[in-house]
Amino acid sequence: MSLIAVSRFSLFLLLMGYLAGCSGAKDTTRSHTLLSDGWKFSRSTDDTASATNFDDSGWEKVSIPHDWAITGPFDKEWDRQVVAIEQNNEKIPTEKTGRTGALPHIGTGWYRKTFTLPDFKPGKQALLVFDGAMSQPVVYLNGKQVGQWAYGYAYFYIDISKDLLPNQTNTLAVKLTNLPFSSRWYPGAGLYRKVSLIVKNPENFEQWGTFITTPKIDANSATVNIKAKTAGQNLTMSTRIEDANGTTVATFQNEQTAKDTFEQNLTVKAPHLWSPETPYLYTAVTELYANGTLKDVQSIKFGIRSVEYSAAKGFVLNGKATKFKGVCLHHDLGPLGAAINKSALRRQLTILKDLGCNAIRSSHNMPSIEQLELADEMGFLFLAESFDEWGKPKVENGYNLFFEQYAEKDVANLVRATRNHPSIVMWSAGNEVPDQYGAEGLVRAKFLQDVFHREDPTRPVTVGMDQVKQTMESGFGALLDIPGLNYRTHLYEDAHKAFPQGFILGSETASTISSRGVYKFPVEPAKDKNYPDHQCSSYDLESCVWSNLPEDDFILQDDKPWVIGEFVWTGFDYLGEPWPYDEHWPSRSSYFGISDLAGLPKDRYYLYRSRWNTQDETLHMLPHWNWEGREGQTTPVFVYTNYDSAELFVNGKSMGIQQKTKDKTPQHRYRLMWMDVKYEPGTVKVVAFDKDGKPVAQKEMKTAGKPHRIVLDPDVKTLKADGQDLSFVTVSVVDKNGIPCPTATNQMHFKVSGQGTYKAACNGDATSLEVFHLPTMKLFSGKLVVLVQSTQAAGDITLEVSADGLQTGSVGLKSVKP
């Protein structure tokens, strides 16, 4: 088609779209309705009554996303089990508690909502879309079962076109069932991710049927390839690409060349490339016409970037060799449970950005759309994982029950729903699956990898492997696009020689354990160390029987060019898996996090930051300096810093200069350690030196007196008045001189007034049985975090925090219309 013809055709399409819009734009394109408010919830067990005839007048009113179990109470009976955990090399079954968070997620729950759809008319298509439902959802519309699924982390949709009542009240009901022994961590419960309703013309873009790639990129231009599956005949597709400012930078129109499929190639001049440093996003607006009438429109954000993996360079992004400085994340959001909240996710990623983290592995589950949107926007590489089990079980009622029937559908939906996110640079087909053993496992690994390749030929596939010797011998590791090793640092060299890919990914590393602000003596490396208070030492020298300290991975990352990066277990503490205290009660959340369950950085945060954040200064001392009763006793001082040397002073007396060195232990290469310091109250100061030996930075900490005043520090002061936005307010106490009190455990009380509500609190203590949603909690190691949520009205918000004998703290926030 000539340029003149294309121009005339474009004008024709614009005119026809305008005329169609004049006759009623709502009838010509799709509507997308979030089903978030107006739900009712019950733990009813009467299936028939709940689906059809019922009295829900006494049901709880909730909004979606919702996690029915997060309000507790904590009780070890919820998930008490006698089991030997094979992944932890256990041989003898023992009683385990807190493994899935000690919260009441097990059982059946019902959700119901009534709605009308004025836009829906017979002949249109209506899709009910679930981003995730925990778990085994059975969906009813007007008393009729219209669909079901199994996997609680899976995206799925149901065509309800034939069952929807036009211009009448419809009743949607969803039954969810969480079986006991179905997870190795806290899975949450309920409609914990978005539910939406899409109404389209019969001529439309297929759900998740559009795939955008950027196959050719150079400094002057980039080719954007768009493949779109459609429904209807005699169709034409028009596309415009907009830059981040909304300016059109490329256009294309063409008619259908194959049944149900369009393909277009557009050229973007002088492209801005997406990367963690410059997360630039374009938008593709695609319009579908039938005989000149606009029928459907979709808007998809994407990034222009190239990804490749090679033995010579490892992982290469936009032509530049890049190492993954990544963390693994479970899906729960601490005191919010599994219920997705975008502002909570944004806070997590903001903390990780300051850490210098550039990558995330969704472990061991499919990520939320919100998490991927933020990764695109804020600049994080993403390893999107699918399963923790295949056909062989880790837990009795895990995914092994559904693998044969659902695995292909679950992978296909994962890829189709998320493949346009530029942040995703790799897929994971599984984590530490017992199927690593035997020929059947090889068949399953190839099957899953082939499904990923079929749905997305542009990205490679990995599996997190813990049985490394077995996978070297069987061919399992050689089969994968990317061999991912979970721990087993002592086998990296052997694996590199055995696997043909030429590189190794640390798909899960460290599992170092610590409790924020807790320090144990003597200071020495330890495996699976238990203490009477059920805490772990924040000297960062304790790990699990299967795992290691951070430096073991640092050395591999720094010295072996064929190690392409790591994903640390974990970025944040999470509910469940309270190792090494899963045989001790109370303990109901993990100790693995670089930050605690409240999102407060542990000391280890600064160890990683000193390596990963190359833009900002890191100078951090530990432990705190409040040790009444330890006067004269050895109390080592560690400094985590991006400088190579520093001098320590205690009350003005030099403790000497320490220099990072490769000649001693791995810890001496990355930490500055004064092992013989004797405790005396007062002031500890560290002075850091540059490479020329000149003082360039200093920091000090002082012994605090008695707690005197409460201090509040919000992460944001302005909220969106949408009923969902959150401010995370860190609460701490200081003495009369303003010195922080790191050992304070005062009971705090919270009051929110104005256009906001109290949502939850968390202190990061894995042993605490205080529920998150009540407006009171004890400080742990001198701190906790209060979550204040906006209402749907604009105005001022005030949080007051009080405690017996302390000066009350208060902070003002503001809620504004989006």
Please identify every residue annotated as catalytic.
432, 508
> Which residue carries 């219209």 as its tokens?
146
**Cα 358 from chain centre:** 13
- Cα 756 to Cα 200, 325, 751, 762, 815, distances in angstroms: 37, 37, 10, 18, 8
Contact assessment for residue 192 and residue 333, using Cβ atoms and an 8 Å cutoff? no
Compute the distance between CA of residue 338 and CA of residue 576 in angstroms, rounded to an integer: 12
As beta bridge partners, residue 233 has: none
Q: Which helix (H) or strand (E) holds 470?
A: helix 468-474
Largest CA distance in the chain: 89
Residue 89, phi-psi category: left (phi > 0), alpha (psi -120 to 50), beta (remainder): left
Token pair, residue 672, equals 């500055």
DSSP 311: T
Amino acid (1-letter code) at residue 702? K
- Could you tell me whether strands 504-510 and 307-310 are parallel, antiparallel, or unpaired per DSSP bridges? unpaired
Whether 589 and 574 have beta carbons less than 8 Å apart is answered as yes
What's the CA gap between 637 and 537, in Å, rounded?
13
**Tokens 């079962």, residue located:** 145
Query: Where do runs of H (alpha helix) occur along 23-140?
Result: 47-51
Cα 124 to Cα 20, 171, 299, 645: the distances in Å are: 17, 19, 20, 69
For residue 454, what is the enclosing H or E element?
A: helix 439-455
- Give residue 63's identity as a one-letter amino acid code: S
Distance in angstroms (rounded) separating the CA atoms of residues 265 and 244: 20
Q: How far is 255 from 570, CA to CA, in rounded Å? A: 49
Q: Which long-range contacts (CB under 8 A, 24 or more apart) does 807-812 make?
A: 807/708, 807/709, 807/710, 808/710, 809/709, 809/710, 809/711, 809/712, 809/731, 810/712, 811/712, 811/713, 811/714, 811/717, 811/729, 812/717
Residues whose CB falls within 8 Å of the CB of residue 57, separated by 6 or more in sequence, listed in order: none
Contacts of 778 (CB under 8 A, 6+ apart): 745, 746, 747, 748, 763, 765, 768, 770, 784
Q: Which residues contact 254 (CB under 8 A, 6 or more apart)?
A: 236, 237, 262, 264
